[in-house]
């Protein structure tokens, strides 16, 4: 969902900008996590980043969700989101991160929400995770409400249109396709990709596939070890990995080049050639 009414810029002239991905290991103190984010956003800013993306659950992270995460949930106007806006304003860039959002009054669950702030510190977009991680022995839906099927969450920055998806959404290509059809040229993917056998191979394969099939850049920000598998990366529209990390904390960056995107799409016009529409089923 886009929170402002301005249309996404679809056809800028030769836009080129730097995007950075933050990989860190958030814990259970939101204020400490904000401090860690601020430090790494500062590094990204020094490298010239105009858009910075941080992991899923940047606000509060545990190995298995339970009542603790419900207890710390905040509204989009709460201290953590406000702190993210202040960081974006301090460094004059766009900042996207995952937070634990308080659900409607009376709910015993939370929302797994991505928030995007502009260089003025204003919340301009938010996305609530649609596909919940009820797999590999986990039950995210016990604690998290699935997001509603809404207009794809996009925002414009520096003449480039960005879309957002979260972690387990990566295994469902429809959300990425909807965002690409809505105009996204870069897909931002905050994640807490739980480690396990073959999980990094699956992550890498799926991130590259989403880039290739939609001819978009993908900037994927995972949590560092031990609660995340790491392997954060930025992939170009042809599926080439432009930058990647191991499982340790770090900051990576790469250029988004719309001339390169246009060149890839001229050779591989798969979006224009698609013949199937997406049929949506409401989350229960």
Residue of 50, 101, 129, 140 marked catalytic: 129
Kindly report the CA angle at 124 between 232 and 130, in degrees rounded to 5?
55
In a domain, 9, yes or no: no
Residue of 50, 56, 74, 101 marked catalytic: 56
In a domain, 70, yes or no: yes
In a domain, 58, yes or no: yes
Residue of 102, 140, 145, 167 marked catalytic: 167
pLDDT of residue 201: 98
Quickly state the pLDDT bin for 1 (edges 50, 70, 90). Answer: low
In the annotation, is 167 catalytic? yes
In a domain, 279, yes or no: no
Quickly state the pLDDT bin for 282 (edges 50, 70, 90). Answer: low
In a domain, 90, yes or no: yes
In a domain, 1, yes or no: no
pTM score of the predicted model: 0.93
Q: How many domains is the chain built from? A: 1
Domain that holds residue 66: 17-273
Residue carrying the six token digits 């709460």: 78
Q: Decide: 255 and 18 in contact? Cβ < 8 Å.
A: yes
CA–CA gap between residue 77 and residue 123 (Å, rounded): 9
In a domain, 4, yes or no: no
Mean pLDDT, residues 15-26 taken together: 95
CATH code of the domain containing 160: 3.60.110.10
In a domain, 8, yes or no: no
For 51-108, what is each residue's pLDDT tens digit?
999 999 999 999 999 999 999 999 999 999 999 999 999 999 999 999 999 998 888 8
CA–CA gap between residue 212 and residue 129 (Å, rounded): 22
pLDDT surpassing 70 at residue 6 = no
Q: What is the mean pLDDT of the chain?
A: 93
In the annotation, is 16 catalytic? no
In the annotation, is 260 catalytic? no
């Amino acid at each position: 969902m886009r929170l402002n009414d301005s249309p996404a810029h679809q056809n800028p002239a030769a836009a080129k900008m730097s995007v950075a991905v933050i990989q860190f290991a958030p814990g259970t103190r939101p204020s400490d996590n904000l401090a860690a984010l601020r430090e790494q956003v500062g590094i990204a800013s020094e490298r010239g980043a105009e858009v910075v993306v941080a992991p899923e659950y940047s606000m509060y992270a545990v190995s298995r969700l339970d009542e603790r995460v419900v207890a710390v949930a905040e509204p989009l106007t709460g201290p953590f989101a406000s702190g993210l806006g202040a960081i974006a304003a301090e460094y004059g860039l766009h900042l996207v991160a995952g937070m634990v959002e308080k659900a409607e009054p009376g709910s015993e669950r939370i929302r797994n929400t991505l928030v995007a702030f502009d260089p003025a510190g204003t919340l301009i977009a938010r996305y609530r995770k649609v596909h919940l991680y009820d797999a590999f022995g986990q039950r995210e839906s016990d604690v998290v409400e699935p997001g509603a099927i809404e207009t794809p969450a996009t925002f414009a920055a520096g003449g480039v249109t960005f879309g957002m998806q979260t972690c387990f959404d990566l295994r469902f290509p429809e959300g990425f396709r909807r965002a690409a059809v809505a105009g996204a040229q870069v897909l931002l993917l905050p994640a807490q990709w739980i480690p396990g056998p073959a999980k990094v191979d699956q992550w890498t394969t799926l991130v590259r596939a989403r880039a290739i099939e939609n001819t978009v850049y993908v900037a994927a920000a995972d949590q560092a070890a031990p609660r995340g598998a790491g392997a954060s990366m930025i992939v170009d529209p042809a599926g080439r990995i432009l930058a990647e990390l191991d499982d340790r904390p770090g900051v990576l960056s790469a250029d988004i080049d719309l001339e390169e995107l246009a060149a890839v799409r001229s050779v591989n016009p798969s979006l224009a050639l698609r013949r199937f529409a997406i049929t949506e089923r409401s989350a229960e």
